[in-house]
Amino acid sequence: MFVSNPFALLAQFLPPLVMQVYALLMIAAVVVGTLADLRHKRSAEFFAARRDKSRLAAQRPLGGGETAALALKTLAYEVAASGEFCRWPRRLSHLLTSYGFVVYLVATLLLVFAYPTAAQTPAVLVALWDLGALMVLVGGLWFFFAQRVDVAHEGRSPWRLMRADLFVGSLVASVAFGLLWHLAQSMDLHAVATEVLFCLYLLFTTLLFVTVPWSKFAHMFYKPAAAFQARVEEANGSSDLPRPATRRSIEE
C-alpha cells in the first residue's frame, strides 16, 4: 500500500527545494540546540573535569589500544545494545525506538535529497521509511504507556506529562502523523485531509527538533560519552563508584 515517495507527491503544491531547505534547517536546529544545551548545563566542562580527575587518580595508565577497545565495548554494549537498561522490556522498547529512528531519519534524508521525484524512488526505500516510523511508534508508545519510571514504578497516570516527556511525545506524534499522511496519500483521500495531516506532521517534527535544549534529545550524545568515561575510570582504577555486588557477596 505504501509504495510512493510521500515527499515527491508534495511537488503538486510544493517544490522539492522547500522540503530540502526545511530538512537542513532542522539539522541546524539540532546542532544549535545541542550546543546551547552543552553551554547551559556546562556538560563539556563537566566531562573535561571528570577526565582530568581520572588521570590524576589513575592507578595505572591506559594505552591507546586499550582505550580503543573500551570505546568499541561502549559502542557495542551501551550504544548498540542499550546495555544500561537491566529490564528487557525497557531495553527492547528503547532499541525499537532508537533503531527505528535511525532508519526513519536516514530514509527521510534520502527520500528528500536523493529521490525528489516519485518516478525514480526505490520501493525498498519507501518501505524502510514506513518500517522505521512503525518501529518508533511501537517502541515509543510502549515506553510512554508502560516503561516510564513514574508510570511503571510510581503508579502515576501515563497521561501525566512532564518536560522530560517532550522528546518521546513529539517523536511519537511526528511519526504517527507522518504515517497517517502517507496513508492518506496512498488511499487518495481528499486533498484537504491530506494537507491537514501533512501540516500536523510538520508541526510535531518541528517541535521535535527545535526543542532540543529543553528535551532529552541531546542525551543520545551525552550517554555514550558518560558510559565510555565510566569504563575508562574502572579500567585505570580511578572510579569512585561502588562496585556492583556479586551473588556471593549478597549471600554472605
**Which has the higher per-residue pLDDT, 200 or 250?**
200
Residue 35, CA distances (Å) to 26, 39, 84, 171, 224 in order: 14, 6, 25, 20, 17
Q: Is the per-residue pLDDT at 131 higher than 90? A: yes
Measured between alpha carbons, how far is 128 from 238 in angstroms, rounded to an integer?
44
Q: Residue 102 in contact with residue 6, Cβ under 8 Å?
A: no
- Report which DSSP code applies to 239: -
Q: Is the per-residue pLDDT at 132 higher than 90? A: yes
**CATH level 3 topology of 8-60+87-237:** Fumarate Reductase Cytochrome B subunit (1.20.950)
Domain ranges of the chain: 8-60+87-237
**Least trusted range by pLDDT, from 19-23, 153-157, 164-168, 177-181:** 153-157
Per-residue pLDDT reduced to its tens digit, 9-45: 887 788 899 999 999 999 999 999 888 877 777 766 7
DSSP string across 177-227: HHHHHHHHHHTT--HHHHHHHHHHHHHHHHHHHHTTTTSSTTHHHHHHHHH
Q: What is the mean pLDDT of residues 137-162?
A: 73
Residue-level pLDDT at 50: 74
Measured between alpha carbons, how far is 167 from 139 in angstroms, rounded to an integer?
13
Q: Residue 173 in contact with residue 204, Cβ under 8 Å?
A: yes
Q: Residue 241 in contact with residue 230, Cβ under 8 Å?
A: yes
Residue 47, CA distances (Å) to 42, 44, 208, 227, 230 in order: 9, 5, 26, 11, 11
